[in-house]
Amino acid sequence: MPKIKVFTAEHHDPWFNLATEDWLFKNFPDDHHVLFLWRNKPCIVIGRFQNPWNECDLAAMERDDVVLARRQSGGGAVYHDLGNTNFTFMSPRETYDKDRNFSIITKALAKFGVTAEQSGRNDMLVEGRKVSGSAFRMAATRAFHHGTLLIDTDMEKLPGYLTPDKDKLKSKGIRSVASRVANLSEFNPNITHESLCDSIMEAFFETYGQRCEVEDLTIARLSREPSLYATYETYADWQWRFGSTPQFAHPIASRFDWGGITLDFEVNEAIIRKVTVFSDALSVDFIEFLHSVLPGTKYCIDDIRKALHDGAKEFSSEKQSMVADVADLIERELA
């Protein structure tokens, strides 16, 4: 008979939850099937190979204190808030079965009178509308399947964070595909995070024909795990969330009183590797300055502004004003 474990999380920090999931995956016993249930405060979680500048309205996220997180698995960008329940199934690789995992979720929803069906490899639909998306990860001896369940997510906010200018970047990352989505509360208003978690746990126990104690992963307990804290620092770090972005090109153009300008950035691992400048401005040294000062800079506005400001200290006030115009232009485009 297989062994099982069930965990829940009391906290809503997306970086900590993803770190906890990663820590569990690396440390759970090889002969166990694991269920982990959790939820996040408002955030956007992007797939391992996605470009945040392509997927998100970063300015709107910063304005509303919506954080960016990047997971280890593939798939598209998703919005999480406290109206969204997340599930993770972990299994030994030789007995991993994603269809069994999906059946646990459909059985849990059926207890609320909601009929869900698997669609393709990743999604679950109710009456033709997406209520759940999944992603997967394989290791040498283990596998996991995690996904989201929309219960009462703020649908008005969701598109605002996930609909930037789609033509802004020439990216090699994997783009998300828009779907018609629905909250489960539309089909049964009695579904809550707590009641759905209880139902998923019961379906999990029924599937494996046994029960176990549910372990609540508190901050106090997890803080005693040095490897978990190190993993958390990785997930929270700018280098993981932005620096892991595949190579892309970003052309930026505008016209000012002093002339028109196009900056064609080549960015890899969120570092500006090269910038090609086209302009009809009369100042040759200003254009040469832009060519030379930006490569090697992080592709974030604070670092770009600092590089431009520090490099332009010896310029005349007129050229410093031109540099400020370029910095403002880049900030508008990065948002």
Q: Are residues 92 and 75 in the same domain?
A: yes
Q: How far apart are CA 294 and CA 95, in angstroms?
A: 51
Locate 260 and state its tokens. Answer: 């028109």
| 317: CATH | 3.30.390.50
Residue type, 235: Y
The confidence score (pLDDT) of residue 170 equals 56
Kindly report, residue by residue over 98-156, the tens digit of the pLDDT: 999 999 999 999 999 999 999 887 889 999 999 998 988 888 899 999 999 999 998 88
pLDDT band, residue 50 (cuts 50/70/90): confident
Q: What is the pLDDT of residue 173?
A: 53
- Contacts within 8 Å (CB) and 24+ apart, 23-26: 23/225, 23/227, 23/228, 23/231, 24/88, 24/90, 25/90, 25/137, 25/139, 25/142, 25/144, 26/227
Instruction: State the average pLDDT for the chain.
Output: 89
Cα(141)–Cα(138) distance, rounded to whole angstroms? Answer: 8
Q: Are residues 276 and 129 in the same domain?
A: no
Both 157 and 262 in one domain: the answer is no
* CA separation for the pair 136, 145 (Å, rounded): 5
- For residues 231 and 269, state if they share a domain: no
Exposure on the CB side of residue 91, measured as CA atoms within 13 A: 16
> What does the block give as tokens for 107?
């059985």
pLDDT at position 164, please?
Answer: 52
301 and 153 belong to one structural domain: no
Q: Is 240 helix (H, G, I), strand (E, B) or coil?
A: helix
Residue 234 domain boundaries: 3-241
Both 52 and 200 in one domain: the answer is: yes
Whether 159 and 202 map to the same domain: the answer is: yes
* The last residue of a domain, from among 224, 241, 258: 241
Query: Is the same domain home to 107 and 254?
Result: no
**% the chain with pLDDT above 70:** 95
Point out the domain boundary residue: 207, 241, 275. Answer: 241
Do 129 and 207 share a domain, yes or no? yes
* Final residue before a domain boundary, out of 241, 271, 298: 241
The CB density around residue 68, as the number of other CB atoms within 10 Å, is 21
pLDDT at 19 over 70: yes
What is the total count of domains within the chain? 2
